[in-house]
Structure 1
Amino acid sequence: MSNALFTAHATAKGGRNGHVKSDDGLIDLNLSMPTENPNEEGSNPEQLFAATYAACYDGALNLVASNKKKDIESTTTADVSFLKDPEDNGFKIGVTLNVNMSGVSQEEAEKLAENAHQVCPYSKATRGNIEVTLNAKAV
């Protein structure tokens, strides 16, 4: 991997019912599978992915808007679903990005959302691998 601007490090132990910790200690979480342990406190990979995808996408959206001289305020909520995969009888994830923007029309919001989806590193990483639905809304 040439030209890396930085590299993040996190270690998981025990899988979905274990623990995850970043090298700097900022992330230090117990993990729990909600379908198996609904009352147990802990995060899960889908929740962590939702947080990181939402942050990355919202950053890409604001960059795209700025490059197009659009002054927006935005929030992005990522809904990450853990799904049965009928193809291999295993599991997969799907994502819905709910994007709210002020400062633009509905048509502009939809165009900015799609443009951000083309440049967001997480969108690039998942393209063709998981279903991602964009719901853009001008507010």
Structure 2
Amino acid sequence: MQNESQIKVLLNEQKFRLTNERHLLLKLFSESSRMLTPAQLHELALEHQVKIGLTTVYRLLEVLTKTELATPFLIEGVIYYTFCGCNHHHHLVCLSCHQVLETHQSCPTVEVPEDFRVEHHRLDLYGKCSACQHSIEGGESH
């Protein structure tokens, strides 16, 4: 995982000044175990008395996405984000509770034509985590 000073350097390269409020917002986002919409992240910040506007939340997510510290997911027409503070990895995304698990396992082999140069890839697997599977089987909502 990248340390705080490395993250500050990446954000500074994008001309994004890390004020105290933005730093607290980033900390809340990075410590979340599930993906969040911008509105959910804004609400989380307000719950923790971080006085920040929704525009700043969008700007932080934009910069984090550019620096590959955040990954967006489009699920049922809604964009969610998860913090990605480490090297290349893939995601296991629960469609029920929106928990995101990272896996560092290799990507399956894909046949690529010789005249095509791959510059990067992304592999995300969507399904239900074990807790949500048990909740559905037991008739509970998770």
**TM-score normalised by length of structure 1:** 0.29
Structure having the larger proportion of residues in helix: 2
- The TM-score, its normalising length taken from structure 2, stands at 0.28
Structure ranking higher in strand proportion: 1
